[in-house]
Structure formats: structure tokens, C-alpha cells
């Protein structure tokens, strides 16, 4: 078993600005958004309450998710547990007249924050992210408006999502950035092109969303042919018929590594993500209490460095087939590219 600090997946806390949280939190998006029909309100409530009882501290939502519905859900269910959690949400990308709109103007950020506070049933948001960089607005202006929210006592700490190391540094010069949220998993390695190290240098937490590769590294990978019309994976090249069969071959190699290590595939995949640095926190999403507990079990595992290294060789930016987004979406995103994989 590895004893190197960099490979630690223990329950020891990790820092996000003024907060300490376990290395695995909960991404709440799929309870309202993006992956087909959401669960019933009752099922979503059960999942959120189970997460609280299992010791999850970091809950991540956004104004975009369900066009406000996810913030309303999280606020309604977790209002009575506010002192036990770190509540994170996002501005700068919302639903307007049924469309997703990126808008980082200060006046929009201020309005979105007030709307979020009402939906979340709280007087302060612990961690507030700029969800996307608005290329029409300098990041310094957007972050300046967010800093005003901190000064007003509406927000405790600031974050950025899906931005490059250069943008992180610009923003950090305006106001301390507590967290950078980027997609990071065995098959999405963009943070390794600069943001992983920049975040470490600046004392910023790297919050990894989609650490289980949008369901590809869960116990039951999606069947692309069965994805509903509202599932965002239908527009992601890695899930289309040109690329998915090749990626399944890579998955089978990972399954063997996990089995040899006495792990499930999700456990191996999450252990790999949180081993990338003591500033890395993963926020997998799930609709299943059983899968929630499986994900959190990683906090109590000491996974051999040999297995983690083998996993990183079996699936990575060099051998994954297809980009993580289509070209239209990639053009919106400020993160570093990983060659052909986007």
C-alpha cells in the first residue's frame, strides 16, 4: 500500500478557503439537470439527506442546473442542516427563456446571487463560483463583482469553473480564489496542462467534477443508444458510435486493474482523482444511495500506488477516443486543451 502523502485517499480533511471538507463531496446537478429525466423530488430528497448522514460536507449546485430547480431542491432539503455543510453554487451561466446563456456582467452576477440566496434559503453562500468565463467581459470585472458580494456578507469565498491557469492567476490577483472547479478524471486530463499545478501554487482547491467520467466509470456504464433526448452525453463525441466502442476496450483494462486490487471500478477511478494532490477534491454525482456510499468508501481506502499508476496508464488523454465536448462547446470553455481529446 502506498504511504506517500500525494497518494492519500484517507478521510483527512482538505481545505477550500476557510473551510475543511473530506476529499469527496457531492455534485448535485444530476438531481435536476443534464442526464435525462430527473429523479422524483422524494428520491432526490432521500439522496441529499443520506449524504448529510454519511458525512458529506461539500454540496455543489448552480443557478443553471434545472434553471434554478436544483438550487431550490438543495435549499429546501438542506436548510435544516446548514451548519453541517459547505454550500457551493455558481453564477455567470443561467437559463434565460429556456436557453443556456453565459453572462458574466457585474449586474447579472449581483442579480443571480440574490436569486440564489432566496432559492437556497440561506443568508450566505459559502463558496460562489463563476460558472463560465464570459469572453465579452474581462474576468477581473466579473470577479470584482463577486468580491463585492463577499464584502456585503452574501458570499464567504470565491471560485472559478472551467478556466485556464492564466485566467485563474488574473482572477486571484483581484480577489483570493478558494477553489477552481474543472472536469478531471482518468479520461479528462485538462488540469494537468497547467491548472492542477497553478492551483497548488496559489493555495487553491482543485474541485474535480465528473470524476467518474460522466457515468462511464460507474458500475453500469451508459448505453449511448438508450440516452434520452435531454441527456447532454448525446452531444459528447466520446459517447458516439465512432468512439464509444474503443473507449469500452480501455474500460475493460481498468476493470481488471480494479478487480486485481480488490476494488470496484468506481472506487479505483475516484481514488485516482483524489490521489492527484492534497488540494484535490472530487464531487461525483449520483441518484443512488448505494452508489453514494460506494463513492464515499474511497475515503477509508489506502489504494496501492501500483494500482493507481496502472489505472493512469490504462486510460488517459493520449488513448481516450474522442473529445470531451463538441467543437461549439469547446469554443466556449477557457480550459487548456489536451491535444485531440479537447
Burial 213-244 (b: 16+ CB within 10 A, else e): bbbbbbeebbebeebeeebbbeebbbbeeebb
Q: If you average pLDDT over residues 98-118, what whole number do you get?
A: 97
**Predicted pLDDT of residue 296:** 97
Would you say residue 253 has pLDDT above 80?
yes
pLDDT tens-digit map of 258-273: 999 999 999 999 999 9
Range list of β-strands (E), 110-226:
125-130, 155-161, 177-183, 205-209
Top CATH class, 5-215+272-303: alpha beta
Residue 201 CA to chain centroid, in angstroms?
Answer: 20
> pTM to 2 decimals?
0.95
pLDDT tens-digit map of 42-53: 999 999 999 999
**Predicted pLDDT of residue 237:** 96
pLDDT tens-digit map of 219-244: 999 999 999 988 999 999 999 999 99
φ, ψ dihedrals at 84, nearest 5°: -105, -5
Would you say residue 342 has pLDDT above 70?
no
pLDDT band at residue 6 using 50, 70 and 90 as cut-offs: very low
From the candidates 65, 128, 184, 244, which is the catalytic residue? 65
Contacts of 80 (CB under 8 A, 6+ apart): none
Could you tell me which residues are beta bridge partners of residue 21? 14
CB of 87 closer than 8 Å to CB of 127? yes
184 as an active site residue: the answer is no
**In which element (H, E) is residue 84 found?**
none
Amino acid at each position: 500500500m502506498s504511504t506517500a502523502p500525494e497518494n492519500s485517499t484517507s478521510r483527512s480533511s482538505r481545505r477550500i478557503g476557510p473551510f475543511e471538507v473530506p476529499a469527496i463531496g457531492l455534485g448535485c446537478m444530476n438531481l435536476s439537470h443534464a442526464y435525462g429525466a430527473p429523479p422524483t423530488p422524494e428520491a432526490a430528497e432521500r439522496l441529499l439527506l443520506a449524504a448529510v448522514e454519511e458525512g458529506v460536507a461539500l454540496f455543489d449546485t448552480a443557478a443553471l442546473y434545472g434553471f434554478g430547480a436544483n438550487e431550490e431542491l438543495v435549499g429546501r432539503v438542506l436548510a435544516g442542516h446548514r451548519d453541517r455543510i459547505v454550500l457551493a453554487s455558481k453564477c455567470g451561466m443561467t437559463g434565460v427563456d429556456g436557453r443556456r446563456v453565459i453572462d458574466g456582467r457585474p449586474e447579472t452576477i449581483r442579480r443571480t446571487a440574490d436569486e440564489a440566496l432566496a432559492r437556497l434559503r440561506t443568508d450566505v453562500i459559502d463558496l460562489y463560483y463563476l460558472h463560465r468565463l464570459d469572453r465579452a467581459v474581462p474576468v477581473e470585472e466579473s470577479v470584482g463583482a463577486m468580491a463585492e458580494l463577499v464584502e456585503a456578507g452574501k458570499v464567504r469565498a470565491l471560485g472559478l469553473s472551467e478556466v485556464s491557469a492564466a485566467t485563474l492567476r488574473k482572477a486571484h490577483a483581484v480577489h483570493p480564489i478558494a477553489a477552481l472547479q474543472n472536469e478531471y478524471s482518468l479520461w479528462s486530463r485538462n488540469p494537468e496542462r497547467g491548472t492542477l499545478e497553478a492551483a497548488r501554487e496559489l493555495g487553491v482547491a482543485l474541485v474535480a467534477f465528473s470524476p467518474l467520467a460522466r457515468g462511464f466509470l460507474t458500475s453500469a456504464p451508459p448505453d449511448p443508444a438508450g440516452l434520452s433526448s435531454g441527456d447532454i452525453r448525446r452531444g459528447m463525441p466520446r459517447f458516439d458510435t465512432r468512439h464509444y466502442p474503443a473507449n469500452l476496450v480501455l474500460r475493460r483494462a481498468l476493470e481488471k486493474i480494479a478487480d486485481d486490487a480488490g476494488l470496484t471500478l468506481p472506487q479505483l477511478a475516484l481514488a485516482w482523482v483524489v490521489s492527484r494532490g492534497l488540494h484535490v477534491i472530487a464531487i461525483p454525482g449520483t441518484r443512488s444511495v448505494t452508489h453514494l456510499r460506494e463513492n464515499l468508501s474511497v475515503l477509508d481506502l489506502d489504494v496501492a500506488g501500483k494500482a493507481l499508476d496502472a489505472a493512469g496508464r490504462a486510460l488517459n488523454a493520449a488513448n481516450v477516443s474522442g473529445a470531451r465536448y463538441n467543437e461549439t462547446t469547446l469554443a466556449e470553455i477557457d480550459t487548456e486543451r489536451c491535444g485531440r481529446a479537447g
